Chains A and B, each alone.
Chain A
Amino acid sequence: MSEMAMPEGVIAGGWSYVLSAYGITAVVFIGYAWSLLRRRAAVSDGEEPK
């Protein structure tokens, strides 16, 4: 194999990692959005901040 040649073969499977990455993305986005809405409701106490 020459110095610049790429190794042969493909990583088999890996869907569990893919789903974990997409899952954590969803959890963080939904969790942060929920936290923002909850904190705003707590501060403004029903009053709409301009």
Chain B
Amino acid sequence: MKRFRWDAAVGLLGLALLLVGSYLGLFEAPAERHMGDVQRIMYVHVPTAWNAMLVLTAAFIFAIASVWTGKPKWDAVMTGATEAGVVMGALLIAQGMIWARPTWGIWWDWDVRLTTTLIMVILYAGILVLRSFVEDSDRRATWSAVAVIIGYVDVPLVYFCVRWWRSLHQIQSTPETVSSAMIVPLRINSFAILFIAIWFVAQRARLELARRRAEEVAPPPRRDRRQAEETNP
């Protein structure tokens, strides 16, 4: 009998909720007073933004746990959360550009919110690239965890910059400033993307653990093998 996979159930729940939330956002929620139908992008853009920052916050916590305990499982989930954060951050920028064109008249502006978000994505993508160059798994775990902890400085900046500095990007909306008909699809899609993100992190963490195991059982590189043969003929 096939083993029950909690992450598969969470992922499927996320997918189902995303379909429901997107249907409500596209066809049931009212058009916004000034932006009209273009505002419907909010139902995927805002949940993507919240969850990108949430998974990168999780990566920060997993990085601390990885440095503290040295256990491979924390390194694996940190890698999963970092990669999911990069994917969702890149998607967030793409959605934002599509929304910016009809509302601001431009695809991109070096505004503080957009710039800090771009820095966040490039920074964490850089950590993933650098990580792939380190062969020793323990060193790789320590270095990337320290980089993730340092890089997290940018994440609160992304969230609060619109309050601290003048920005073309609007300040965060609250349930008091949004019509109740808009809150339901926004909340459904927020949970949907959260569940999908959990599935992404779980899958990527399993992949990382499998890679680590494969590295442990794999024969040493040719150069090391030759050295070993010279030492023990």
Contacts and interface: CB of A to CB of B under 8 A. Distances in A.
Contacts, number: 86
Chain B interface secondary structure, helix, strand, loop or mixed? helix
Contacts of A24: 91, 94-95, 98
Contacts of A25: 44, 48, 91, 95
A21 to B, nearest CB: 4
Nearest to B15: A29
What interface size band does chain A fall in? 20 to 34
A18 B207 contact: no
Interface in B9-55: 11, 22, 26, 31, 33-38, 40-41, 44-45, 48
Interface in A1-50: 6-7, 9-15, 17-18, 20-22, 24-25, 28-29, 32-33, 36-37, 39-40, 43-44, 47, 49-50
Contact of A12 (B36, B44, B91): B36
Contact of B203 (A18, A36, A47): A36
A32 B22 contact: no
B94 A37 contact: no
Given A14-B102, A22-B22, A49-B213, A39 B37 contact: no
B163 interface: no
A22 B99 CA distance: 11
A40 B179 CA distance: 43
Chain A interface secondary structure, helix, strand, loop or mixed? helix
Interface residues of B, number: 37
Given A17-B98, A18-B41, A49 B203 contact: no
A39 B177 CA distance: 44
B214 interface: yes
A7 B95 CA distance: 25
Interface of B: 11, 22, 26, 31, 33-38, 40-41, 44-45, 48, 87, 90-91, 94-95, 98-99, 101-103, 196, 199-200, 203-204, 206-207, 209-211, 213-214
The 5 closest A-B pairs by CB, nearest first: A14-B38, A49-B210, A36-B203, A21-B41, A10-B36
Interface of A: 6-7, 9-15, 17-18, 20-22, 24-25, 28-29, 32-33, 36-37, 39-40, 43-44, 47, 49-50
